[in-house]
């Protein structure tokens, strides 16, 4: 019950963040390639890859960090051969997700 109260009060007091067209395209890519099978957003999704909700604002990470993984993949993450526009749209979506996160990681 306490969780419900928090979600319906504190959980909705943050600034309004509008999803732009690039972020919408990035969301569709995130869904198309089933990124949640390995990655979590807002604590929901797979456990093989890292949680991505606040990746864009974490120290040492951000746009260049995300592009490097999206562009080349890694040992566990495949290279999806996305165009530069698709890569930027996916980063724009992750930036949107980060902006909507209520509690940012401080370390």
Domain range for 57: 17-100
Q: What is the pLDDT of residue 107?
A: 40
Domain annotation covers residue 93:
yes
Q: What is the pLDDT of residue 3?
A: 66
Blockwise average pLDDT, block size 10, the chain, 107 residues: 67 71 97 96 93 93 93 90 97 94 55
Domain annotation covers residue 2:
no
The CATH number that applies at residue 38 is: 1.10.760.10
Domain annotation covers residue 4:
no
Q: What is the pLDDT of residue 31?
A: 97
Select from 37, 53, 34, 33 the least CA-distant residue to 45.
37
Torsion angle of alpha carbons 18, 92, 25, 87, nearest 10°? 180
Q: What is the pLDDT of residue 17?
A: 76
pTM: 0.81
Q: What is the DSSP string of 38-93?
A: T-EETTEE-SSSPB-TTGGGSTT-SHHHHHHHHHH--SSS------HHHHHHHHHH
Q: What is the pLDDT of residue 62?
A: 92
Domain annotation covers residue 7:
no
In the chain, the number of structural domains is 1
Domain annotation covers residue 5:
no
Domain annotation covers residue 105:
no
């Amino acid at each position: 019950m306490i969780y419900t109260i928090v979600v319906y009060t504190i959980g909705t007091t943050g600034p309004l963040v509008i999803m732009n067209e690039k972020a919408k395209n990035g969301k569709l890519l995130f869904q198309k390639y089933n990124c949640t099978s390995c990655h979590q957003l807002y604590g929901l999704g797979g456990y093989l890859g890292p949680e991505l909700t606040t990746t864009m604002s974490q120290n040492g990470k951000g746009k260049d960090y995300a592009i490097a993984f999206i562009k080349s993949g890694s040992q566990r993450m495949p290279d999806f051969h996305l165009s530069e526009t698709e890569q930027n749209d996916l980063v724009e979506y992750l930036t949107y997700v980060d902006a909507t996160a209520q509690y940012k990681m401080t370390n």
